[in-house]
């Protein structure tokens, strides 16, 4: 008699690939946080509208090394709260071509604290945007999903100089640095290869990103990974992240596209807010005559989910001929000892999660066109708390 014993591994038995997102995995339960944008104004208790995004305006080097420079040369983006609209359960972040006054850094000077002085300029090259929407809650672990639509730019208009994002970010408490941890669920960038135009959505994760300062280090996905070219063509798409202590899983339209495991200290990441925003570059990828403005970033919903981890310290034993009566929580160990058999039938989708190990004894069977996942995930107890201001 043979047993299958799993520890620190994910195993999937599958006929047709079906991702384990909340849409087809009841283990995730109901959202622990959500906004369906079914109002006519922003829910201020859910979202914080930040002021000018200044981290990319400040010193990105180390003044003690004689390096003081502004990564973006001048302004980056500023807040325009009126550039939000609501219609039939959709919020739209609108990027417009507008003249605005910006607080910008003088990149030729350094001060003793490593931050350059500020000045005020007005320049028509800079484009105003809602800057970002930051959730009023911070999270650690769980599943995070957005359903959104970007403009169809398959013709002459492009998004050069623009980039829609959905990400999580937290400052790392370093000294004279802009250190941070970051998980990018997606960052859309303009990609132009000769006459070919694509909207490419990338995903990434950064641990202690300190902008090359010598007393800290960065670990990130390398090379930069992406969802490939996405043609929205009027359609909404979903992008999701499952964050566990030992891995990150990235999803596109409920399909698992990438797993980054056991390399990037995901258990050390602090709790982070979700951010919905637009990059408006003023260097490198400047807008050109074909950049589509106004540019609409439409969002149907943003949701967060959590697994039930109250049984992380409890072993589970399954002896029935099916999973009836079994609570699909995260357990310390799971042992499947069928009596006499346990079958995952065609069309079913079942996931077992444990912090330590899963054992499948003889008599366990997965039929064709069924999905069974045995997943070692640590104990991903979701942390939710108020956003510090």
Closest among 98, 82, 99, 197 to 151, alpha carbons compared: 197
- Let me know: does 164 contact 77? Beta carbons within 8 Å: no
Q: Which of 43-57, 69-83, 109-123, 363-377 has the lowest mean pLDDT?
A: 109-123
pLDDT mean over 111-131: 47
* Strand pairing report for 118-123 and 330-336: unpaired
Q: Each residue of 141-181: pLDDT tens digit?
A: 999 999 999 887 766 777 777 788 999 987 544 333 456 78
- What pTM was computed for the model? 0.82
Does the structure show a pLDDT above 50 at 268? yes
Report residue 215 as tokens.
């007393």
- Let me know: does 138 contact 384? Beta carbons within 8 Å: yes
Does the structure show a pLDDT above 70 at 128? no
Pairwise pLDDT comparison (241 vs 196), residue with the higher score = 241
The predicted structure's pLDDT at residue 99: 59
Q: Where are the domains of the chain?
A: 4-28+312-386, 33-305
Query: What does the DSSP assignment read for 161-207?
Result: TEEEEEEEEEE---SSS--EEEEEEEEEEEEEETTEEEEEEEEEEEE
pLDDT mean over 60-88: 52
Closest among 95, 44, 38 to 301, alpha carbons compared: 38
Q: Each residue of 306-341: pLDDT tens digit?
A: 999 999 999 999 998 888 889 999 999 999 998 888
Residue 363, helix vs strand vs coil: coil
- Let me know: does 57 contact 338? Beta carbons within 8 Å: no
The predicted structure's pLDDT at residue 50: 61
Average pLDDT along the chain: 74
pLDDT mean over 244-254: 91
Query: What does the DSSP assignment read for 233-275?
Result: TT--EEEEEEE-SSEEEEEETTEEEEEEESSS-TTTPPPEEEE
The predicted structure's pLDDT at residue 190: 62
Helix, strand, coil percentages (3-state) for the chain, rounded to 5, are 0, 50, 50
d(CA 92, CA 146): 13
Closest among 222, 138, 214, 204 to 179, alpha carbons compared: 214
Exposure string of 108-132, with b = 16+ CB inside 10 Å and e = fewer, is eebeeebbbeeeeeeeeebbbbbbb
Residues 6+ apart with CB under 8 A from 321: 338, 339, 340, 341, 342, 343
CATH class of 33-305: mainly beta
pLDDT mean over 359-365: 92
Residue 124, helix vs strand vs coil: coil
Highest mean pLDDT among 47-51, 139-143, 158-162, 196-200: 139-143
* Strand pairing report for 84-87 and 315-318: unpaired
The predicted structure's pLDDT at residue 58: 33
Pairwise pLDDT comparison (381 vs 234), residue with the higher score = 381
């Amino acid at each position: 008699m043979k047993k299958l014993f799993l520890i620190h591994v994910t195993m999937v038995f599958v006929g047709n690939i079906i991702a384990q997102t909340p849409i087809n995995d009841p283990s995730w339960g109901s959202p622990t946080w959500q906004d369906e944008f079914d109002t006519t104004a922003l829910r201020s208790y859910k979202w914080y509208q930040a002021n000018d995004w200044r981290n990319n305006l400040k010193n990105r080097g180390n003044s003690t090394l004689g390096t003081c420079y502004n990564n973006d040369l001048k302004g980056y983006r500023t807040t325009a709260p009126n550039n939000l609209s609501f219609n039939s359960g959709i919020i739209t972040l609108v990027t417009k071509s507008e003249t605005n006054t910006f607080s910008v850094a003088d990149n030729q000077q350094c001060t003793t604290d490593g931050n350059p002085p500020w000045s005020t300029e007005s320049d028509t090259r800079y484009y105003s945007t809602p800057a970002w929407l930051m959730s009023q809650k911070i999270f650690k672990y769980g599943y995070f999903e957005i359903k959104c639509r970007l403009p169809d730019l398959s013709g002459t208009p492009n998004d050069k100089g623009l980039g829609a994002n959905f990400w999580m970010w937290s400052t790392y408490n370093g000294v004279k640095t802009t250190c941070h941890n970051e998980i990018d669920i997606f960052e859309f960038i303009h990609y132009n290869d000769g006459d070919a135009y694509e909207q490419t959505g990338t995903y990434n994760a950064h641990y202690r990103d300190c902008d090359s300062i010598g007393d800290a280090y960065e670990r990130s996905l390398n090379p930069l990974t992406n969802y490939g070219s996405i043609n929205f063509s009027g359609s909404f798409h979903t992008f999701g992240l499952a964050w566990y202590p030992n891995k990150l899983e990235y999803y596109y339209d409920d399909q698992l596209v990438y797993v980054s495991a056991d390399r990037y200290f995901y258990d050390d990441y602090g709790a982070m807010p979700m951010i919905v925003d637009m990059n408006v570059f003023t260097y490198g990828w400047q807008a050109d005559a074909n950049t589509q403005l106004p540019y609409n970033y439409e969002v149907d919903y943003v949701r967060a989910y959590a697994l039930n981890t109250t049984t992380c310290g409890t072993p589970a034993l399954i002896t029935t001929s099916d999973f009836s009566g079994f609570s699909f929580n995260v357990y310390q160990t799971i042992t499947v000892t069928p009596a006499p058999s346990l079958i995952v039938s065609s069309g079913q989708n079942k996931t077992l999660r444990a912090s330590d190990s899963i054992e499948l004894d003889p008599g366990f069977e997965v039929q064709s066109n069924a999905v069974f996942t045995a997943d070692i995930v640590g104990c991903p107890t979701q942390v939710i708390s108020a956003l510090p201001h």
